[in-house]
Structure 1
Amino acid sequence: MRKLRTVKSVLAGILSGAMMFSAVSAMPAVTNAQELDANGYYCHDTFENGTDDWGGRGSASVSVGGTAYAGSKALTVSDRGSAWHGAQKALDSQTFKAGETFSFSAAVSGSGNMMLSLQYTDASGKTAYGHIANGQSSGDYTVLSNTDYQLPEGSGYILYVETEDGTASFSIDEVIIAKAGTQPDAPQSVNVIQGDFNGDERVDIFDLVLARKSLVSYTSGSATDTVMTVADIDCDGEFAVNDIVMLSKFILGKVREFPEPIVTTTTTTAPPVTTTTTSNADPSAYMASIRDKITVNVPQNVLKNAEGKIEHITYFSKKANRNKGANVWLPPGYDSSKKYPVFYVNHGYGGDESSMMNGMGVREIATNLIKSGEAEPMIIVFTNQYTDPNHEKQTGNGQADVPGYDNFVEDMPDSLMPYIESHYPVKTGRENTAVAGFSMGGRESLYIGMKCCDKVGYIGGGAPAPGIFPTRDQFMTHPGVMSKDDMRIDPPYSPYILMIAGGTNDTMVNDFPKQYSDLFTQHGTENIYISVPGGGHDSNTVIPLMYNFIRFIFKA
């Protein structure tokens, strides 16, 4: 049985697309036809006795050693001059033919989005590229797997591993090509303990010494085998000085336990199970029926002990023309044979798919309300809204970044929702789809609710930022994405819930949340406005919105 020092494995789906570069380095070619072994494998590269015919790609070089996923050795890829520089291996032309389907998997350890890809010559004689699988790594091993990948029309297939961005070194182990449908062997997990840097299953002064050395290597970029489940002691998603401080306090007896890490599990490409239901509920009547149940007094017990599981996914954004990330929360008691409605949560300006997962009460409220029966079991998708074809990351110039946020009105229905519906057992249709967010995420949620009213039936905005209609605030002039007269959602797509929250002490967006609510009301669109006494541009305003919203969505 194979062993590793991580509990994370990602089985990622097929991604199609073109790469801009071709391989430069020559490499050994496999010339003998390969036959299935007893395990059903055509190829099983363990790197225990050498490079197994893998070579460098671009300027990259390969060597055997490092930290292994299984056994004692792995293939280390270093000296990378670009993200596409990695490791590659030519596939036997007598075995791997166009149109045939195989199972591909590889264990990789690096930083960021790791990609298992294919280079080949297409029918016209041009070099072409295809993506087999991808997955996130933070120094721990991640299994990239696609159990049913059909080789595209062409010849001269080359399997390679690269990264989406960056040039840090990475490791590869346990590369398996097998008959279609073959699942990678499930590894046996070694007990992983936060702070146990030397792996002796205890935390003591020896770990502190090693932790300090590891942090130097990690921050300099020379470490390729940092296991975040061990190093990220304070569970903030980073390995930094704060982790060393907490480890010291633990060894000195000043703290007795470390924070609980977020559970991360596998993402698979199992056949999708979807269902579309039809609701005949009168949206106005439903909102009227819950209006007197809305409260700003959130019970403290619903803000404790988030449960469920988080899966990080990567999908291809048509609008951005690149891969984007999201976090998917699976509720307590999640059962892949059942079907769930979906709630999309949008972050504020400057954030990403992790920003709303902590501090805003979303996971905690959903956990406790679902367990108590007060909310419907649901899947929650924490989005990364910024969708700019020209910039992967926000520039920091608010005026220039706003269009990238507004583009999410296309990215969510055209790319993210189809990915979720094809990878998770979800119910489809507007009666099974909700969207809400904070600040810029609240603004975009309202915008999406209006523009995609045929797809989204439940809409929420916590302290939504200005700019849907033309206006000016203390920071900038907003050209707007629609006129005030267009601030409406007309039948037959009236929302089941349209809920907006504004804090009385919010000096960031001031009274714009109430302006949005008033415009909806003027144009005959039923909505619920929550005025939060003393609420600022923060969680004090967002938590009441999320508590009331999560309680009543998917029940009309």
Structure 2
Amino acid sequence: MSSSKTIGKKLLSVLSSATLAASCLALVPTAPALTVEAAGTSSYIFHDTFESGTDDWSARGGCKAAVSSDAKYMGSRSLFISGRTASWNGGQKSLSTTTFVPGKSYAFSACFTNLTGSDPTEFKLTLQYSLNGTTSYDKIAQTFANRGEFVQLYNAEYTIPAGAADLVLVVETTDETCDFYVDEIIAAPAGTKIDGPTSKVVISKGVRRGDVDLDGDLTVLDLIELKRGMVRGFINSTAEKNADVDKSGVIDEDDVSALQSYLVGEITEFPVVNNHLSMKDFTDKVKSTIVEKEPDSANRSKSGVTYGQIQKKSYYSTTCNRQKDVNILLPPNYDPNKKYPVMYIMHGYYEGIDRMLTKGNADMHTREMIGNAIAEGAAKEMICVFPDVFSSPTLKACTGMDETNNQGYDNFINDLTKDLMPYMEKNYSILTGKDNTAITGFSMGGREALLIGMKRPDLFGYVGAICPAPGVTGSFNWSADNQPYFLMITGGSDDTVVYDNPKTYHSNFEKNGVPHIWHYVNGGYHGDNCIRAHLYNFFRIAFQN
């Protein structure tokens, strides 16, 4: 096809979309008239209509669950879930294992809508259960719906995991935090046909650059949504990923320009900005900057230097089924209109959220260390997060050094990715993705940093470990196309707790040809002086590639 024809077709698409957009603006959305084909309700195990109450449903997390007549699929009422601050906030109902036998299959159905907030919204029907002392979550069904239309989530044959206990049926969203309504929640024998409304929304499969409105096509409406999203925020994480047209990791005017050029036919492929060095090249670049120990001045408060604010917060952990505390160190002069990278810094066995920040073997001066580095221009402005690493669903705190408690620490990957990171995205102005996320930790926290870094290189671009504890398993490697940018392991000559275990991890990576920094501290013990020496270097290297 000639270039003139290609441009002509693209311009026609743009003009047609613009006309459609203008006509849509004149419409006042109303909830569609929906009907359901009658089914044999006598076979239902339960049929929650919310006509006379909440039918044993309750709120999940910090939101509210109440009967409402503002939206309904059938009858005159539905269950309204409001005040949500995280995607897992929703409604829940306990299920008896006498009725819902683990290992057997059942049909589940629920009808969802939202009248405000995101458009479209992806709803989810989930089973929470415990197995061998660990809380798990399993998708029953999920799908998108346009705002104002009901959609059925339905699975005709969902199998309760064998051995499962403490069953809880959950209604939630996959990503959005809008208020929503749910109606006609039904459980029935496997294979039962339960009719319900289907959605008219068209969602592109996976991430597609430029498709910001998620309709599967690239039109002027995507350009409108891109510009709107840069000001007001995007409807969900998929739209945000699609908005990064040039894959630079930052959504800016370059993305607007690229999408505009594509729509008018000036380009036929989107550019890709890749300013990152490989793991090997970046490691080679920074290794000469590594110092064995930090200078004493790094830990001192200096005249004329502004230091960040420490905030003590708590969030609800679905992994632990309880509130968890966290320390958050903001960068100096934190501006909520500016986005910052995030570093997660984890404590060791029996320790807590203050250990890596203010109270170690002696006073810790992490706030001063990062503040001085930023003031010198040696480190990027960043948010540092100091979590409670122990993440058992049955124990609130570590009770001993044994396998049960080890599992509580190893479970932190679920708390981090499902609960803490979404909390940070919701409540702070942060940059996301591996380019903007680092993780490190001391002792047991170092073990977790290595385990998490190896399992989720898609999330963490900078990985560190300080005197890491034994127990790290895995390949000690990454695929060439999914590596972090930087790995640093610190060990001390006088460590009488984990001894040479950090060196063993170093050797494992070295045997596999993984570029990394082996940082050895002479006189370093299992505590503050190794931590300080590591953080001094890690702060200066993170987010620099």
- Cα pair distance change 1:130/1:536, threshold 3 Å: same
Alignment partner for residue 533 of structure 1, among 508, 511, 522? Answer: 522
2:422 aligns with 418
Q: How far did residue 365 of structure 1 move?
A: 1.3
Is 2:278 the counterpart of 1:289? no
Distance (Å, rounded) in 2 between the aligned partners of 1:448 and 1:518? 19
Distance (Å, rounded) in 1 between the aligned partners of 2:367 and 2:348? 17
Deviations for 1:116-151, whole angstroms, at most 9, x for unmatched residues? xxxxx9556324433785xxxxxxxxxxxx9xx896
Distance (Å, rounded) in 2 between the aligned partners of 1:498 and 1:152? 52
Is 2:300 the counterpart of 1:304? yes
> For residue 58 of structure 2, what is the amino acid of its counterpart?
Y
Distance (Å, rounded) in 2 between the aligned partners of 1:546 and 1:123? 58
Distance (Å, rounded) in 2 between the aligned partners of 1:362 and 1:522? 33
DSSP 3-state at the match of 1:405: helix
Q: How far did residue 490 of structure 1 move?
A: 2.4
Does the 8 Å CA contact 2:293/2:521 hold for their aligned counterparts?
no
| Counterpart mapping for 1:81-100 below 5 A | none
Deviations for 1:425-480, whole angstroms, at most 9, x for unmatched residues? 111110100000110001101111001111101001111111113xxxxxxxxxxx
Q: How far did residue 323 of structure 1 move?
A: 2.4
- Cα pair distance change 1:376/1:152, threshold 3 Å: farther
1:447 aligns with 451
Deviations for 1:396-434, whole angstroms, at most 9, x for unmatched residues? 243320001001122211221111112111111101000
1:523 aligns with 512
Does the 8 Å CA contact 1:272/1:423 hold for their aligned counterparts?
no
Is 2:58 the counterpart of 1:129? yes
Q: How far did residue 291 of structure 1 move?
A: 0.5
- Cα pair distance change 1:412/1:361, threshold 3 Å: same
Is 2:498 the counterpart of 1:509? yes
| Counterpart mapping for 1:147-162 below 5 A | 153=68
Does the 8 Å CA contact 1:342/1:433 hold for their aligned counterparts?
yes
Q: How far did residue 319 of structure 1 move?
A: 2.2
Alpha carbon RMSD of aligned pairs, Å? 3.2
Q: How far did residue 152 of structure 1 move?
A: 6.0
- Cα pair distance change 1:128/1:432, threshold 3 Å: same
Distance (Å, rounded) in 2 between the aligned partners of 1:456 and 1:325? 22
Alignment partner for residue 404 of structure 2, among 400, 407, 411? Answer: 400
| Counterpart mapping for 1:189-338 below 5 A | 276-277=249-250, 279-305=275-301, 307-338=307-338
1:378 aligns with 382
* Unaligned residue ranges in structure 1 (runs of 5+): 1-120, 134-145, 160-179, 182-270, 470-481
Distance (Å, rounded) in 1 between the aligned partners of 2:67 and 2:61? 11
Distance (Å, rounded) in 2 between the aligned partners of 1:314 and 1:284? 38
Question: What is the aligned residue count?
Answer: 301
- Cα pair distance change 1:388/1:150, threshold 3 Å: closer
Distance (Å, rounded) in 1 between the aligned partners of 2:454 and 2:52? 45
Is 2:393 the counterpart of 1:389? yes
Q: How far did residue 316 of structure 1 move?
A: 2.5
- Cα pair distance change 1:346/1:155, threshold 3 Å: same
Does the 8 Å CA contact 1:342/1:427 hold for their aligned counterparts?
yes
- Overall identity of the aligned pairs, in %: 37
- Cα pair distance change 1:487/1:152, threshold 3 Å: farther
Distance (Å, rounded) in 2 between the aligned partners of 1:124 and 1:397? 51
Distance (Å, rounded) in 2 between the aligned partners of 1:383 and 1:549? 18
Does the 8 Å CA contact 2:61/2:316 hold for their aligned counterparts?
no
Does the 8 Å CA contact 2:344/2:387 hold for their aligned counterparts?
yes
DSSP 3-state at the match of 1:334: coil
Does the 8 Å CA contact 1:272/1:421 hold for their aligned counterparts?
no
Alignment partner for residue 483 of structure 2, among 489, 494, 497? Answer: 494
> For residue 417 of structure 1, what is the amino acid of its counterpart?
M
> For residue 129 of structure 1, what is the amino acid of its counterpart?
S
> For residue 369 of structure 1, what is the amino acid of its counterpart?
A
Distance (Å, rounded) in 1 between the aligned partners of 2:276 and 2:286? 17
Q: How far did residue 539 of structure 1 move?
A: 0.8
Distance (Å, rounded) in 1 between the aligned partners of 2:455 and 2:364? 26
Is 2:344 the counterpart of 1:344? yes
1:354 aligns with 354
Does the 8 Å CA contact 2:353/2:387 hold for their aligned counterparts?
yes
Does the 8 Å CA contact 1:501/1:529 hold for their aligned counterparts?
yes
Q: How far did residue 352 of structure 1 move?
A: 2.1
- Cα pair distance change 1:123/1:554, threshold 3 Å: farther
1:550 aligns with 539
1:42 aligns with none
Distance (Å, rounded) in 2 between the aligned partners of 1:515 and 1:409? 23
Q: Is 298-307 or 410-419 further displaced after alignment?
A: 298-307
- Cα pair distance change 1:447/1:322, threshold 3 Å: same
1:47 aligns with none
Q: Normalising by structure 2, what TM-score?
A: 0.51
> For residue 324 of structure 2, what is the amino acid of its counterpart?
K
DSSP 3-state at the match of 2:286: helix
Does the 8 Å CA contact 1:457/1:497 hold for their aligned counterparts?
yes
Distance (Å, rounded) in 2 between the aligned partners of 1:303 and 1:291? 22
Does the 8 Å CA contact 1:361/1:546 hold for their aligned counterparts?
no
2:372 aligns with 368
Distance (Å, rounded) in 2 between the aligned partners of 1:517 and 1:366? 26
- Cα pair distance change 1:396/1:288, threshold 3 Å: same
> For residue 532 of structure 2, what is the amino acid of its counterpart?
I
2:35 aligns with none
- Cα pair distance change 1:413/1:152, threshold 3 Å: farther
Q: How far did residue 283 of structure 1 move?
A: 1.9
Does the 8 Å CA contact 1:462/1:541 hold for their aligned counterparts?
yes
> For residue 289 of structure 1, what is the amino acid of its counterpart?
K
Distance (Å, rounded) in 2 between the aligned partners of 1:346 and 1:407? 13
1:67 aligns with none
1:195 aligns with none
Q: How far did residue 355 of structure 1 move?
A: 2.1
DSSP 3-state at the match of 1:345: strand
> For residue 383 of structure 1, what is the amino acid of its counterpart?
P
Distance (Å, rounded) in 1 between the aligned partners of 2:58 and 2:295? 53
- Cα pair distance change 1:124/1:290, threshold 3 Å: farther
Q: How far did residue 525 of structure 1 move?
A: 1.4
- Cα pair distance change 1:396/1:330, threshold 3 Å: same
Distance (Å, rounded) in 2 between the aligned partners of 1:281 and 1:526? 12
| Counterpart mapping for 1:115-126 below 5 A | 122-123=50-51, 125=53, 126=55
Distance (Å, rounded) in 2 between the aligned partners of 1:369 and 1:394? 34
Is 2:431 the counterpart of 1:427? yes
Deviations for 1:83-122, whole angstroms, at most 9, x for unmatched residues? xxxxxxxxxxxxxxxxxxxxxxxxxxxxxxxxxxxxxx95
DSSP 3-state at the match of 1:530: strand
Distance (Å, rounded) in 2 between the aligned partners of 1:279 and 1:310? 33
- Cα pair distance change 1:526/1:156, threshold 3 Å: closer
Q: Normalising by structure 1, what TM-score?
A: 0.50
* Unaligned residue ranges in structure 2 (runs of 5+): 1-48, 69-76, 83-115, 118-231, 235-239, 251-273
